[in-house]
Chain A
Amino acid sequence: MSPQTALASDVFRFYVVIAAGLLIAAGTVLVVLRWGLHKDVDHAWQSYRGWLIMVPVVLLGIFLGRVVTIIFFTTLALWGFSEYARATGLYREWVMTGAVYIGIIAVGATALVPDPTTGVSGWYGLFIALPVYMIAVLLVIPIARNRAQGQLQVLALAIVGFVYFGWMFGHLAFLANARHAYSYLFYLLFAVELNDVAAYTCGKLMGRRQFRSNISPNKTWEGSLGALVVALILPWVLYFTFPDFQARDYILAGLIVGIGGQLGDLAISVIKRDIGIKDMGTAIPGHGGILDRIDSLIYVAPLFLHVVRYFHDLY
């Protein structure tokens, strides 16, 4: 990945055109609704403005190459974890929080450095083993500070924070090392966000039965199934962006996004519901916090990486 390969890559150019086209189309629809039909589109407009900033930032990051992409996703992981730490109150334990921040930076670093034995970029062995070392370090903190009261809660929050928001999301950064990094990264980003939109739209249009009433009352069976159908179709439509995929891989990629995306969303909803908050933060106007935007990606990215790696090898 580099600016030169990005410009030469059909996949990269394809997704740039798709992103620009969707933004323009959505903007036109909003303009027509607002000024043509005098509908109230304030909420959608807020959300659209969020996209107007996010899409170019992500495209630019990936365009600038492997290093910037890894730094970008690591920064998102740090930001996401800080929202989680603020929401759960973990941030008051600054030693534990600081240790997780350092651990997340280590995730990015292992994705960045070459494997010492093979020389390929990304030290996969250490990347996969990081949670072991990290949990070992976190467990030492209460011991070193001679504290027991309330430490199980602090430890549990820190471990979930590191493993889920740092390490599992970090798989997205690691994908930047893959031979077909553009295919994988853009597919994941595009499919997951489309999946969210499809779930929302299908739910609005056909939603009758609540899906998980205690977790996210707005989600319906109809919305989730509709999103799954869209997710299953999408890889076949994008077949030309996957140089080495077969029918089996299209089905798996669709299932991972269609099911994993919904589960990632619900997983964050469980956390939010338990704490009793609506959004994880205010980082992106119209969307909530960073975590409200990347929730599905966190769940999907590691599954996708390991499936691809099992069948095709990353490099």
Chain B
Amino acid sequence: MEPWRYDTAQDLNQPLIDRLRRFPREPAMLVYGVRLLAALLLRGWLRVYHRLRIVGREHLPTDRSFVLVANHASHLDALCLLAVLPLRKLHRAFPAAAEDYFFVSVPRLILSAVVINALPFDRHIDPQHSLNLCRQLLAHPGNILVIFPEGTRSVTGEIDRFKLGVGLVLAGTPYPVVPCYLHGTSAAWPKGAWFPKPRRVQVTIGQPRAYAHLSPDKESAIQICQELRDAVLALASDTAPSVITSQEGEAS
């Protein structure tokens, strides 16, 4: 009789905190439960406190792996983008988060790994390794990678230059990328504020696009980043007036 093969957890001998630090993380029912509960609470909070509005949800290609990119000015951004996705994708959506910021202290680690389901992105020492993680993630059908290509929260309100990482991940791959524009998050919870203000927030989701036809090199990455930034800017100019009018309409 052939002996059974046991598929033991890779992180069996690691303490809980180290298990949260590694990536990809092993599935854990308790973590999934807490994440689901947190997601429901956060979605409720965004709907009620920030009047979250979602435009263009039909553009999300949720039947396969894809990348979400958006402008970044607030801690609310990742929460809003996660709230845009269907709840069944909760454990399959991974916002890339700075390892040096979100995976250091234990409370922040628990928040990023359990609630946000973040992918620890190494901005400084070995970004190549992190980009490989992103590619592996997308190779698994049905995963969603959330990236803020500016690399950090903008304080000026302008959309900064997109870093090349997202282009390098996408060039020559069939995965669709969906540009999004987040409106109002910086006013609601700017960098440095300790608690969000009850301001309106809107997520505008653009048309998906793919870059399978480009060669996987730096030139393509530059081109992709340029195109994606333009797409986000276009969404910004399309949607912002309507939001502003509706807010003014309510104020008067």
Contact = CB atoms under 8 A, between A and B. Distances in A.
Binding partners A and B: yes
A3 interface: no
Contacts of B6: 87-89, 274-276
Contacts of A277: 8, 12-13
How many interface residues does chain B have, given as a range?
10 to 19
B13 A279 contact: yes
Given A86-B12, A89-B6, A275-B8, 10 more contacts: A82-B30, A89-B7, A89-B8, A89-B9, A92-B27, A94-B27, A94-B29, A153-B4, A279-B13, A281-B13
29 contacts: A82-B30, A86-B8, A86-B9, A86-B12, A87-B6, A87-B8, A87-B12, A88-B6, A88-B8, A89-B6, A89-B8, A89-B9, A91-B9, A91-B26, A91-B27, A91-B28, A92-B27, A97-B29, A153-B4, A274-B3, A274-B6, A275-B6, A276-B6, A277-B8, A277-B12, A281-B13, A282-B13, A282-B16, A285-B15
A69 B231 CA distance: 60
A281 B8 contact: no
B29 A87 contact: no
B156 interface: no
B14 interface: yes
Q: By DSSP majority rule, is chain B's interface helix, strand, loop, or mixed?
A: loop
Interface of B: 3-4, 6-9, 12-16, 26-30
Interface of A: 82, 86-89, 91-92, 94, 97-98, 101, 153, 274-279, 281-282, 285
B7 A282 contact: no
Contacts of A89: 6-9
A101 B26 CA distance: 18
A285 B15 CA distance: 9
Contacts of A274: 3, 6
Nearest to A79: B30
B13 A91 contact: no
Contacts of B28: 91
A87 B15 contact: no
A53 to B, nearest CB: 14
A98 B29 contact: yes
A98 B33 CA distance: 11
A65 B27 CA distance: 35
Nearest to B14: A282
Contacts of B4: 153
A277 B12 CA distance: 9
A278 B12 CA distance: 10
Contacts of B3: 274
Nearest to A156: B4
A104 to B, nearest CB: 12
**Which of A86, A94, A153, A274 gathers most chain B CB within 10 Å?**
A86
Contacts of A278: 13
B13 to A, nearest CB: 6
B122 to A, nearest CB: 25
B210 to A, nearest CB: 31
A214 B6 CA distance: 19
A94 B30 CA distance: 12
Contacts of B13: 277-279, 281-282
Nearest to A86: B9
A285 B4 CA distance: 30
A277 to B, nearest CB: 6
A45 to B, nearest CB: 18
Contacts of B8: 86-89, 275-277
B29 A91 contact: yes
A290 to B, nearest CB: 12
Contacts of A276: 6, 8
B26 to A, nearest CB: 8
The 5 closest A-B pairs by CB, nearest first: A89-B7, A86-B9, A275-B6, A282-B15, A89-B6
B31 to A, nearest CB: 11
Contacts of B26: 86, 91
B12 A82 contact: no
A91 B30 CA distance: 12
